[in-house]
Amino acid sequence: PNDSGRRPRGALIAFEGGDRCGKTTQCSKIVEHLRSTGVDAVMWRFPDRSTSIGQSINAYLAEQSHMDDAVIHMLFVANRLEKRDEMLRLLAGGTTLVLDRYSYSGVAYTAAKGVPYLSMEYCKSLEVLLPAADLVVHMTMTPESMAARGGYGEERYEKVEFQSKVMAAFEALRDERWAVIDASGTIDDIHEQVTSIVEPVVRCAHNGCALGR
Ligand code: T5A
Ligand code: NA
């Protein structure tokens, strides 16, 4: 315990946004920055394509397999749940976790499909076993400018019309834990903004503020 009698913990920070908006780039940079200032931080990405569930997800995204919308949704959820214990252990041990996509992608991408029985509320209810993020960094840019980025269009959801629906779904999910960042700037400008938003949240967790949910 620290001066306030509360136990220091790591922060749970999720980066969200459309495909190719620069999440991986910014997650790597902020983790590197945090480490350089002595913060114990690690970066994970979801989906974690290395597990057997992750390999099924990968085949689906690469359009090598077809799956029912409910089934692929449950696999994305399960792919997070299989990391739940390790997440909680790391956070309790003081490690800050920077996640390249998390529950919010799970909800937004499925809700964007407009399948009546996979509503936003229903999808949210399936995430309750997982810890909520302390901070969600929502990186926004127009679907047209994302499409201009290298590598766009290789995977299932990388279509401008669908990405517009995903963007609307993310907007509907926002609450006071979300910070919105214009992802169309330079890598360094975005990193500077990300740093100013992330650092106070890491400090708060280190001082033992409560974890969401
Ligand atoms: N999904 C995911 C679900 O449907 N349900 C779920 O539960 C989850 C977790 C895979 C897909 O799965 C869906 C969402 C996705 O459709 P993914 O593997 O994270 O998710 O795929 P992407 O989000 O498409 O990841 P990418 O790696 O393709 O994009 P990033 O991480 O957003 O972007 P990044 O950093 O790799 O950059 C892309 C390119 O742009 C350049 C980079 O150098 C790179 O070439 N770039 C910039 N260029 C100019 N200016 C900048 N500021 C730039 N920043 C990066
Ligand atoms: Na990525």
Number of Cβ atoms within 10 Å of the Cβ of 110: 25
157 lines ligand 1 (CB under 6 A): yes
pLDDT the model gives residue 93: 96
From the CA of 49, how far away is ligand 1's center (Å)?
A: 14
From the CA of 36, how far away is ligand 2's center (Å)?
A: 23
pLDDT the model gives residue 208: 85
21 lines ligand 1 (CB under 6 A): yes
62 lines ligand 1 (CB under 6 A): no
47 lines ligand 1 (CB under 6 A): yes
pLDDT the model gives residue 34: 98
Sites in the chain below the pLDDT cut of 50? none
Q: State which ligand 1 atom lies nearest to the alpha carbon of 187.
A: 52
pLDDT tens sequence across 132-181: 999 999 999 999 999 999 889 999 999 999 999 999 999 999 999 999 99
Out of 3.40.50.2300, 3.40.50.300, 1.20.1050.10, 3.40.1000.10, the CATH code matching 12-206 is 3.40.50.300
For the chain, give the DSSP string.
Answer: --TTSPPP---EEEEEESTTSSHHHHHHHHHHHHHHTT--EEEEESS-TTSHHHHHHHHHHTTSS---HHHHHHHHHHHHHTTHHHHHHHHHTT-EEEEES-HHHHHHHHHTTT-TTS-HHHHHHTTTTSPPPSEEEEEE--HHHHHTSTTTTSSTT--HHHHHHHHHHHHHH--TTEEEEETTS-HHHHHHHHHHHHHHHHHHHHTTPPPP-
Closest residue by CA, ligand 1 atom 34 = 22
pLDDT the model gives residue 209: 82
190 lines ligand 1 (CB under 6 A): yes
pLDDT the model gives residue 53: 98
pLDDT the model gives residue 2: 64
Pick from 21, 24, 113, 194 the residue to mutate for probing ligand 1's pocket: most ligand atoms within 8 Å of its CB.
24
Number of Cβ atoms within 10 Å of the Cβ of 81: 16
* CA-based nearest residue to 46, from 121, 114, 133: 133
